[in-house]
Structure 1
Amino acid sequence: MTVVDPTVFDGNRNLLFTVAYRILGSAADAEDAVQDAWVRWSSADRSQVADPKAYLVRIVTNLAMDRLRSAKARRETYIGPWLPEPILTTADPTTDAGTADDVSMALLMVLENLSPLERAVFVLKEAFGFSYAEIADAVQRTPDAVRQAGHRARGHVQARRPKFRPTRAQHREVTERFFAAASGGDINTLMQLLAPDVTLWTDGGGKVRQAMRPVVGAEKVATWMAGVSKRPYEGVEPSAWVFEVVELNGSFGIVISGAGRVIGTLSVDLDDHGRIAGILNVANPDKLGAVTAKTVHEI
């Protein structure tokens, strides 16, 4: 029986998870991909592996791409808006906003519109700095095909992401002001914070009560948020809700708990003027496992 030394794999486990998570937008699916990569690594002839890190990234990338293809079909029948699964993260306080943005909920939503190949190429190139030659080897395509996929992906992302990147302090300040105004039903302050064309996405997955379509426009969103703060949710009275500002997907977000369980998360995305352009509310219990477990991932 071959004895498998877990040191090499464990040393790359966080990298493999972050690659898979960025490709899939699901912590649960990313963990499964990492586990499958371990199985393949365990049975591989490692004497023939010159670069274990590159080999493992290749395995997990292809596993994640395969999972994404089947996930896209399932998401077409998803009840209500589909949002990525939030994760708790940790980063050096001096990390620049662009690096933190690599795993933001808003960016993961933009990546949903890419093909599995485009998404994998974008993640490996933009987030991890792999060369096109290295990516071509990982995804088993020609360098030219990979370069073209990367160009399409980068153009798509740049067209949909604001040029403005708030500092961590700015993002936290806006998040806290938004939370205070929303929980207090302060529509006037909400209107000051929201961009005119702000969009609110609420993901209940058909499991809990949420808006079945995006809510668009500052007045509608402010009214919705103020109204929600006054009504019981899933049997929990507003007075029993517990709010915690945490680092969520590379920046600051809010975890909402009640009756001994996590009942949702809130993230905000800012436009070029520092106003809230997007609000992402994940309440599907199936997507709150990573936050409930308080598993923190390095980015």
Structure 2
Amino acid sequence: MSTSDPYVDLRSRAFAIAYQMLGSVGEAEDVMQEAFLRLHRTQRDGETIASPRAYIATLVTRLAIDQWRSARARREQYVGEWLPEPLAADPSPGEHAETADSLSLAVLVLLETLTPQQRAAFLLREVFDYPYTEVAEIIGTDVDTTRHLVARARRRVRERRPRYHATRQQQRRLAGRFFAAVEHGDLPALEELLAQDVAMHGDGGGRVPALGRPLNGRQPVARVLAAMAPLLARAGGVRFDLTKVNGQPGALVFDTRGLLVAVMALDITDGHIQTIHSIVNPDKLQHFGRVGNLGDLVRADPDPTGDA
């Protein structure tokens, strides 16, 4: 007897919508589960649902908008810079390039500057390719209003959206060189790999010492990264497992016990690393499995940047 989920593809789409609306794996899973619970209740009560795809998209989007509003208030009290929870996976082969780019941490951070309706309208139309009429129905507006929401969001995203000009092979090669340089504290190699105006972002959430604000510039970023090597070496070192993080090159960072202590993602432009995102808040890594605390490894000098 088959135990396969008849809605497996629908669940994948529902999670993708919720995650890109919220930037949180746990919150996206909660929204998705609530949406499917309502679907099952409706079907159990004998109501006919003409299009489960449209029904779930509507429920997930509206639930995510409600969740986003409450999450927004919590994020205003967040310690340090807030970054989305990372995903260590590539988009599926069936997802187009726009979807892959929209998953990047840089774009998810950018989407935080939109209103909930703008974000929902933009994602549904530009990323998931829903027609304007369906987007309008999902978010509860008319088509003209929806077009304006999408247009405003599109302008804002295009103005600041990162552009990636590297093949997958180039990305893997550059990422490998970068993480090797970080592991060995190779300052000249780091300076060579980083863009002149590189930006580094860190999220410790008050649980782990991290950058208190974005760090900009080749020399400052290279110095901070190189300074981490001797601290980590005294604790036995860490292991960088190269992977895709939200569709971009990155690494999972494990301590000597095999506990995940950080996830790092890189944005690469014109042969240089343009942006570095480092998530070390254990609360944001729980969905990967066994998690450690990077602060325990560097407690001899918990904040080499001087920014708590």
**1:293 Cα offset (Å):** 7.1
**1:243 Cα offset (Å):** 1.4
Inter-partner Cα distance in structure 1 for 2:99 and 2:33:
26
Q: 1:107 is matched with which residue? A: 107
1:46-78 per-position Cα deviation (integer Å, ceiling 9, x unaligned): 633211111111100111111111111111111
Find out whether 1:89 has 2:89 as its counterpart: yes
**1:165 Cα offset (Å):** 3.6
Q: How does 1:146-161 map to 2 (within 5 A)?
A: 146-161=146-161
Inter-partner Cα distance in structure 1 for 2:227 and 2:52:
53
Q: 1:291 is matched with which residue? A: 288
Question: Structure 1 residues 237, 44: CA separation in 2 closer, same or farther (over 3 Å shift)?
Answer: farther
Residue 103 of structure 2 aligns with an amino acid whose one-letter code is: V
1:198 is paired with a residue of what secondary structure? strand
Q: 2:21 is matched with which residue? A: 23
Q: 2:205 is matched with which residue? A: 205
Find out whether 1:32 has 2:27 as its counterpart: no
Do 1:268 and 1:280's aligned partners in 2 also have CA atoms closer than 8 Å?
A: yes
1:202-228 per-position Cα deviation (integer Å, ceiling 9, x unaligned): 100000111211111110000000001
Inter-partner Cα distance in structure 1 for 2:19 and 2:247:
13
Inter-partner Cα distance in structure 2 for 1:249 and 1:290:
14
**1:172 Cα offset (Å):** 1.7
Do 2:197 and 2:218's aligned partners in 1 also have CA atoms closer than 8 Å?
A: yes
Inter-partner Cα distance in structure 1 for 2:95 and 2:66:
32
Deviates more, 1:77-86 or 1:240-249: 240-249
Cα RMSD after superposing both structures: 2.2
Higher relative contact order (CA 8 A, sep 6+): 1
Inter-partner Cα distance in structure 2 for 1:100 and 1:187:
32
Q: How does 1:1-299 map to 2 (within 5 A)?
A: 7-45=5-43, 47-91=47-91, 97-232=97-232, 237-258=234-255, 259-271=257-269, 273-292=270-289
Do 2:35 and 2:59's aligned partners in 1 also have CA atoms closer than 8 Å?
A: yes
Inter-partner Cα distance in structure 2 for 1:176 and 1:253:
9
Deviates more, 1:214-223 or 1:237-246: 237-246
Residue 111 of structure 2 aligns with an amino acid whose one-letter code is: L
Deviates more, 1:46-55 or 1:26-35: 46-55
Inter-partner Cα distance in structure 1 for 2:100 and 2:165:
10
Do 2:259 and 2:290's aligned partners in 1 also have CA atoms closer than 8 Å?
A: no
**1:167 Cα offset (Å):** 2.2
**1:140 Cα offset (Å):** 1.0
Do 1:65 and 1:116's aligned partners in 2 also have CA atoms closer than 8 Å?
A: yes
**1:93 Cα offset (Å):** 7.0
Residue 289 of structure 1 aligns with an amino acid whose one-letter code is: Q
Percent of paired sites with the same residue: 38
Residue 82 of structure 1 aligns with an amino acid whose one-letter code is: W
1:33-56 per-position Cα deviation (integer Å, ceiling 9, x unaligned): 011112211222563321111111
Question: Structure 1 residues 118, 204: CA separation in 2 closer, same or farther (over 3 Å shift)?
Answer: same
**1:229 Cα offset (Å):** 1.7
Uncovered stretches (5+) of structure 1, i.e. residues with no partner? 295-299
Question: Structure 1 residues 105, 162: CA separation in 2 closer, same or farther (over 3 Å shift)?
Answer: closer
Question: Structure 1 residues 192, 97: CA separation in 2 closer, same or farther (over 3 Å shift)?
Answer: farther
Question: Structure 1 residues 151, 290: CA separation in 2 closer, same or farther (over 3 Å shift)?
Answer: same
TM-score (norm 1): 0.89
Residue 228 of structure 2 aligns with an amino acid whose one-letter code is: V
Inter-partner Cα distance in structure 1 for 2:94 and 2:19:
23
1:71-120 per-position Cα deviation (integer Å, ceiling 9, x unaligned): 11111111011001001213457976544212111111111111111111
Question: Structure 1 residues 113, 183: CA separation in 2 closer, same or farther (over 3 Å shift)?
Answer: same
Inter-partner Cα distance in structure 2 for 1:145 and 1:53:
23
1:89 is paired with a residue of what secondary structure? coil
Do 1:86 and 1:290's aligned partners in 2 also have CA atoms closer than 8 Å?
A: no
Inter-partner Cα distance in structure 2 for 1:278 and 1:41:
41
Question: Structure 1 residues 57, 96: CA separation in 2 closer, same or farther (over 3 Å shift)?
Answer: closer
2:185 is paired with a residue of what secondary structure? coil
Q: How many residues align?
A: 286
Uncovered stretches (5+) of structure 2, i.e. residues with no partner? 292-308
